[in-house]
Amino acid sequence: MIMKNNGNFIAFNEQSYNVLFSTGDNDVSYNMADSSLQKKFNDLCSELKIEDIFYLKQIHSDKILVCDEKHKYHGECEGDALITKLRRNAVGIFTADCVPVLIADNKNNVIAAVHSGWRSTIANIVGKTIIKMKESFGCNSENLKVFIGPHNKQCCYEVSEELISKFKNVDYLKNTDINNGRFLSLENCIIKQCKINGVRRENIITTQYCTFCSENVQFHSYRKSGKKSGRQFSLIYIK
């Protein structure tokens, strides 16, 4: 596995699949409301030598959809996780502080892209996506790699005491280090979801970047910029 900051992407190059997390460097943004989004995706497909990029209208849910030859999504359907076996087709999600999670089963060539904001995290969307990959595609947890991308990390993610209590009252998160006072670690919650579903800790890869306070690499942050914030796009595809 090689991680590199390549142009406007932080990339992990694996033998059978690639993982990319876009940054906000050079003011590059991927926003569903942007009329130029399809052109950007067409250019990205040409650059990566893939056929298409699939994505959903994200609603902060635990809804998971599957992309196949009959069901190819370009933002017309709601949900927050996409799974596919289609080769040379990417699945991806938009973020501007929420957690992008990309999952791959190298043995069965199954991939998933998950949008995990606090609502989806508390609803266990990553854990449910892993379960869906097992049930629908015969994936084995030991073969899964999970990539947790840049997001508003615990250093900057201050939330209400009420929300901290909600997380602490979730059964699978009890006795888990998820907060420092009012600063919440969605990353630790997601790591716990992976581990209780059989993913080995060494196969959970995290990045060091916080979308709010990163200085060496720029990111779009809704908390920092509000409604004018751009969006990152994170994607994974089977070669």
Find out whether 144 and 112 touch, Cβ atoms under 8 Å.
Answer: no
Residue 2 has pLDDT above 60, yes or no: no
**Is 167 contained in some domain?**
no
Residue 197 covered by a domain: no
What is the rounded distance in angstroms from the CA atom of residue 149 to the CA atom of residue 11? 10
pLDDT of res. 4 = 53
pLDDT of residue 176: 93
In a domain, 41, yes or no: yes
The whole-angstrom separation of Cα 177 and Cα 168 is 9
Band of the pLDDT at 6, cuts 50, 70, 90?
Answer: low
Express each pLDDT in 80-135 by its tens digit: 999 999 999 999 999 999 999 999 999 999 999 999 999 999 999 999 999 999 99
- Res. 5: pLDDT tops 60: no
Digit-coded pLDDT (tens) for 29-65 = 999 989 999 999 999 999 999 999 999 999 999 999 9
Residue 66 in any domain: the answer is yes
Closest CA to 90 of 152, 140, 40: 40
* pLDDT, mean over the chain: 95
């056929």: which residue's tokens? 51
pLDDT digits (tens, 9 = 90+) for 45-54: 999 999 999 9
Whole-number pLDDT of residue 227: 86
pLDDT for position 3? 53
Residue type, 104: A
Return the CATH number at 216.
Answer: 3.60.140.10
**pLDDT higher than 90, residue 220:** yes
Q: Which amino acid belongs to residue 236? A: I
Among 111, 116, 41, 109, smallest CA distance to 74 is for 41
Say if 229 falls within a structural domain: yes
135 sits in which H/E element: helix 125-137
Question: How far is residue 194's CA from residue 134's CA, in Å, rounded to a whole number?
Answer: 13
pLDDT above 70 as % of the chain: 97
Question: Is residue 22 assigned to a domain?
Answer: yes
Identity of residue 180: N
Pair 150, 21: CB distance under 8 Å: yes
Look at strands 81-84 and 64-67 and give their pairing.
Answer: parallel
Which range marks the domain in which residue 29 is found? Answer: 2-151+205-238
Helix or strand holding residue 118 (H, E): helix 118-122
Structure confidence at residue 21 (pLDDT):
97
- In this prediction, residue 25 carries a pLDDT of 92
Number of domains in the chain: 1
- Of 106, 113, 95, the C-alpha closest to 32 is 95
Residues 150-158, mean pLDDT to the nearest whole number: 98
Nearest to 237 by CA among 65, 18, 74, 55: 18
Identify whether 156 is part of a domain: no
The Cα-based distances of 85 to 70, 94, 95 in angstroms read 12, 21, 23
Q: Does a structural domain hold residue 38?
A: yes
